[in-house]
Amino acid sequence: MILSTVTLLPLVFALIIALWPAEKTLRHLALGLSLIEFFVSVFMLVKFNPHTADLQMVERYTWIERFGISYFLGLDGLSLWLVMLTTFLTPIVLLGAWNAIENRVRGFLVCMMILQTAMVGTFLAMDAIFFYLFWELSLVPMYFMVGIWGGTRRIYATVKFFIFTMFGSVLMLVAIIYMMFLTQESSGTMSASLLEFYKLKIPFVGGQFLSLQTLLFFAFALAFAIKVPAFPFHTWLPDAHVEAPTPGSVILAGVMLKMGTYGFMRWVIPLFPEASEYWAWLFMSIGVIGIIYGALVAMVQPDIKKLVAYSSVSHMGYVLIGLFAFNEFGAAGSLYQMLNHGISTGALFLLVGMIYERTHSREISRYGGLAAVLPLFTIAFFVVTLSSIAVPMTNGFVGEFLILLGAFKAQVWVASIAVLGVILGAVYMLWMFKRVFFGEPGELVGDKQHPLHDLSLREIVVLAPMAVMIFWMGLAPNQFLSMSQESLRHWVEHRTNYELNIAGDASTVSGEQK
């Protein structure tokens, strides 16, 4: 029951919030509820058994018998930390955005809760149609969040976000339906279960685009690449991120982008091993282009939020490279980088939101000399910057190092170019840091209309867990990675004949090695 609780509890919370009588205490209520959700997920983490790659805490009920679609939730090392990331960020976002959302608070909190269900469900669903349901459902609350509470160009941004993502996912739907018929052909009964999909042997012809596995591969990969977003499909991201309200940006960057890379990890690579291997060069190149292009574009942004948004494109490029390196370092690094990016970029968006609340401006050129006026804020920003540019001892270093290690083992040329991204990352972040915090006091410093005051207690409480995580994950990566190690090893070693067993299933226990 624990997975259902984690997934569906926010939906219940959304209902409670919608019916809560007192307008004044809505924020307190939502924060409290999201903390309950976090503790439930901690309980799930405690119960998780790290010594097996099998699917745990499985819940499976037939939903649509005719097509073999089931309500199917399961947890393994690949999804564990992403669920934790989601439940960890939500209370932080709610507290961090205490004053960012001023009107229609109730609607906003309801959207947040529905979104949480959709995200957790995406990570836990093990049935293709059930997965698709959450995947598409996540669009709706985010669409409203950007569209109602966003900036000036919010409507353009939100419609673009919706259409782009939907375009990718409908082709995936056709591919899913096709694969359901393949399961019927091979086993006699139709099934939408991912475990059945893994068992399929889909014929692959190298060099021929119009062959079955290649087409299915691209139908899935397109959907996930748009979500990541990989290089040519990234154009919705700066718009959506910049126009979204702070909590929307944090969730979008922190969790929703991971739905794309998780998709590659869980669906694309194990389902289509030959095609993935054949087209690895393409996705490696896309990753490398994303790293360099994102960093270069970030460098010239006059707007802090846009800079952070483009840095996401760059960081997510690493994740793609790590995944398509097909070795343990790359895979572990990618998983770690997903978490890092969620924390560091989430924190950056929160910090940008905090300074925006004070000055109502995000233009780098209007800042300068903030360090003297806002010491605490400067320290917090500096810590997060360190994480973002992957300085050793922070979490960012571990992820990028592992990915580059994996990439060197797989493709030296890819790694050599990707290393440039590390330097470029340091350049744009530190340069921005210099312009905002040092030098001559900018026009916004000492502006009577927008008095600058340092971090409040609430903001410190918001940022403290992020800072703790940055160093904790940087100093003791094994505590986190060991939980996923078995799953990652299984993922790498059995890439060409990937199958997942359900833990405790009588028919599979005997086959276990350990």
Q: Which residues bind other proteins (CB under 8 A)?
A: 63-67, 69, 129, 132-133, 136-137, 139-140, 143-144, 147-148, 154-155, 158-159, 162-163, 166-167, 170-171, 173-174, 177-178, 180-181
| 130: number of Cβ within 10 Å | 23
Which of 22, 46 has the CB closer to other proteins?
22
342 three-class SS: helix
Shortest Cβ 30–other proteins spacing (Å):
19
Ramachandran assignment for 486, one of left (phi > 0), alpha (psi -120 to 50 degrees), beta (any other):
alpha
Question: Is the link from the previous residue into 451 a cis peptide, with omega within 30 of 0?
Answer: no
Q: How far is CA 154 from CA 150, 283, 345, 495, in A?
A: 5, 31, 21, 42
Which of 64, 476 has the CB closer to other proteins?
64
**Please, which residues bridge with residue 73 across strands?**
59, 125
Shortest Cβ 307–other proteins spacing (Å):
26
Shortest Cβ 256–other proteins spacing (Å):
16
Which of 117, 301 has the CB closer to other proteins?
117
Which of 106, 358 has the CB closer to other proteins?
106
Which of 148, 473 has the CB closer to other proteins?
148
Shortest Cβ 158–other proteins spacing (Å):
8
502 three-class SS: strand
Shortest Cβ 453–other proteins spacing (Å):
32
Which of 159, 379 has the CB closer to other proteins?
159
Ramachandran assignment for 113, one of left (phi > 0), alpha (psi -120 to 50 degrees), beta (any other):
alpha
> Who's near 47: CB < 8 A, 6+ residues apart?
2, 57
Shortest Cβ 12–other proteins spacing (Å):
16
The C-alpha angle with vertex 287 and arms to 409 and 399, in degrees rounded to 5, equals 60
HSE toward the beta carbon, residue 308, CA cutoff 13 A: 34
Tell me how far apart the alpha carbons of residues 33 and 8 are, in angstroms, rounded to a whole number. Answer: 13
Shortest Cβ 150–other proteins spacing (Å):
9
Are 41 and 6 contacting, i.e. CB atoms less than 8 angstroms apart? yes
- Nearest partner of 320 among 274, 362, 287, 358, judged by Cα: 287
Shortest Cβ 155–other proteins spacing (Å):
5
Which of 16, 166 has the CB closer to other proteins?
166
Q: How far is CA 109 from CA 132, 145, 163, 466, in A?
A: 24, 10, 24, 22
Which of 181, 413 has the CB closer to other proteins?
181
Which of 139, 386 has the CB closer to other proteins?
139
Shortest Cβ 180–other proteins spacing (Å):
7
Shortest Cβ 142–other proteins spacing (Å):
12
The C-alpha angle with vertex 73 and arms to 69 and 76, in degrees rounded to 5, equals 130
Which of 167, 281 has the CB closer to other proteins?
167
Helix crossing, 412-437 with 395-410: angle to 10°? 160
